[in-house]
A and B are shown apart, each in its own frame.
Chain A
Amino acid sequence: MIAAAAPPALWRAFFRSPKAMVSAAGALLLIGAAFLAPITAPHEPFTLGTFNLMDSELPPAFMAGGDPRFLLGTDMQGRDVFSAILYGMRISLTVGFLAVTISAAVGTLIGLVAGYRGGLLDAVLMRLADVILSFPTILIALLIAGIARAALPQAAAGEAAIAVLVFAIAINEWTQYARTVRGQTMVEARLDYVKAARVTGVADGTILRRHVLPNVVSPVIVIATINLALAILAEATLSFLGVGMPPTSPSLGTLIRIGNENLFSGVWWVVVFPAAALVLLVLCVNLFGDWLRDALNPRLN
């Protein structure tokens, strides 16, 4: 049984594991700083008129020639790199959380229905999941982004960027939830208490919601945590390739792309710091997800 570990036991395990505490603290710090960017960021990097071309390409504050106003230096247009990272991380996380929420909801629903109903519907949905899983995420996501670019008018493309990215990532990720939930639902549906509920005339929807759903919550949470890291990486990769967030509202990936174009002019801080922020964020989420998987169920591989 993949029963949810009792919360008190989970908390005890949490406070015994340095890995869990450090990674959770790191992730919360980064997420908090990013979502509170209007408060935490010292500058407003994307409001015209608040930055000055005279301040362009200043090195980080701790280096010779650095300016104490700009902790991690400035970019080619005089924008504060530290603030740009905070705002960029906010966009990266928004895409990540939206993609994970949508794919978890859709995947769980499909898994429940497919596992409970079985038959043709189940076969079709699971074959579809097989096919999607056999192609790399990045390829399918690129294809969606490319189709959106060709189908949408140029002007709308910038505004729809977040929605397109979320869709491109979610269409890959629902499959894992659907597979896991389906397997668990099939196990659960054969148990006596579910049969008893069915015989007494409880509606299918109620059975799924009250009896089956609680049993699939913990694997769904584990997959969601690990998928958050994957979603952030996928978004960063798409934006780096130039098919994600536009330079006017850059995510971490866009920042790295812009920095990369100026790599040879020696302004390394414009690319190194956003890249470090991305890696740190993903590493924290990955480590926490790793711990959570072991803590919630040692056998869930």
Chain B
Amino acid sequence: MIPFIARRLAQAAVVVLAIAILSFVMFRYVGDPVAAMSREDASVSEREELRTALGLDQPVVVQFWHFLGRLADGDFGVSYRTQRPVADMIAERLPATLELVLMATVLSLAVGIPLGVLTAVHRTGWMATFVQSVSLVGISVPTFVTGIMLILLFSVTLRWLPSFGRGETVDIGFWSTGFLTVSGWRALILPSLTLALYQMTLIMRLVRAEMIDILSTDYVRFAQARGLPAGFIHYRLALKNALMPVITITGMQIGGLIAFAVVTETVFQWPGLGLLFIQAVSFADVPVMAAYLLFVGLLFVALNAIVDIVYLIVDPRLRSGQS
């Protein structure tokens, strides 16, 4: 098991290095940093000065080494568009995205798990058929269309909920939260629902498939023969074993949710990381793009490695094949 973990971590390290190189190459070679950072009317000597100040006259390997050193210090460069440190901009936007992702995850688990159990237990009822057909249509509807339709219904037609922004936020230290105000909660409903929908169908299908397998095992049949109440069998005995893949998928999908938040945040003008990234892409603001890539890339590598290792620890059957 230890060799497997070591190999998995080594593999993760290689990917991290590759992401860092990609991020460096973007920062250094996409567009001209000197042209982007100096004034329009800067003289040749001023430009040369900036080139030296940025260390662009040194060998590439030295530049890359310095780049890594700056990253270790939390220095992600300065945005071309706002002239502010990228690290500050990310720190400022992070709470909005994390609160959105957290809410979407809670929502998808709270709705997806019971629906999965219900459709597995009543496999032929009208509700199972209905839920199955809705989830089939659901995978053909892109996130942004779902979001627009929700806005059209709840904001434009019914005027119940706001269609953009976070509402009022409260600052707790560096963290600005929308969980403490009524308008913050109201603003969170539509975006988190939009972000959660795909996840919800995924979890529902997963729980359904697992539950159908487990309901035909001996221990469940035995419990049924003993006359234990159905609710106890389904939710206490069977569900416990069905949740294992749900936990890992949920963990892995958190990275996916942060990536998909780009779309949801654009639809709802939610001031998070995704909106920051899209603005950076439209303005060709390379330092922000490179930093976002690095940040989300690291998150992905870490989540994938953790999930693989947790899997190995939780499920002993996987270990035999690894030696």
The interface of chain A, by Cβ under 8 A from chain B, is 127, 131, 134-136, 138-139, 142-143, 145-147, 149-151, 229, 233, 236-237, 240-243, 256, 260, 263-264, 266, 268, 271-272, 275, 278-279, 282-283, 286
Contact = CB atoms under 8 A, between A and B. Distances in A.
B256 A136 contact: yes
A275 B284 contact: no
Given A139-B296, A146-B284, A260 B143 contact: no
B37 interface: no
Contact of B267 (A131, A134, A142, A260): A260
B137 A150 contact: no
Given A149-B281, A151-B31, A268 B263 contact: no
B148 interface: yes
Contact of A268 (B15, B152, B289): B152
Nearest to A243: B281
Contacts of B270: none
B185 interface: no
B254 to A, nearest CB: 12
B156 interface: yes
Interface residues of B, number: 42
6 contacts: A135-B300, A143-B293, A147-B289, A149-B282, A150-B286, A263-B163
A260 B148 contact: yes
Given A142-B277, A243-B281, A243-B282, 17 more contacts: A136-B255, A136-B256, A138-B262, A142-B278, A146-B281, A149-B281, A150-B31, A150-B284, A229-B140, A241-B278, A256-B145, A260-B267, A268-B156, A279-B137, A279-B140, A282-B142, A283-B137
Name B's interface SS.
Answer: helix
Contacts of A150: 30-31, 284, 286, 289
Interface of B: 11, 15, 18, 26, 30-31, 137, 139-145, 148-149, 151-152, 156, 163, 255-256, 259-260, 262-263, 266-267, 277-278, 280-282, 284, 286, 289, 293, 296-297, 300-301, 304
A143 B282 contact: no
A139 B260 CA distance: 8
Contact of B144 (A143, A237, A268, A272): A237
A241 B11 CA distance: 33
Contacts of A237: 142-144, 263
B31 A286 contact: no
Contact of B282 (A229, A242, A279): A242
A275 B300 contact: no
A266 B140 contact: no
Nearest to A139: B259
B284 A272 contact: no
Residue of A139, A145, A272 most packed against chain B (CB within 10 A): A139
A120 to B, nearest CB: 15
Residue of A135, A229, A263 most packed against chain B (CB within 10 A): A135
Contact of B263 (A149, A241, A266): A241
B149 A275 contact: yes
A85 to B, nearest CB: 14
Contact of B289 (A135, A143, A240, A278): A143
A134 B262 contact: no
Nearest to A274: B145
Given A134-B304, A136-B259, A149-B281, A279 B141 contact: yes
Residue of A135, A146, A229 most packed against chain B (CB within 10 A): A146
B140 A283 contact: yes
Contacts of A263: 148, 151-152, 156, 163
A237 B256 CA distance: 15
Given A149-B281, A266-B156, A283-B140, A241 B256 contact: no
Nearest to A145: B281
Contacts of B18: 131
A285 B99 CA distance: 35
A144 to B, nearest CB: 10
Contacts of B148: 256, 260, 263, 271, 275
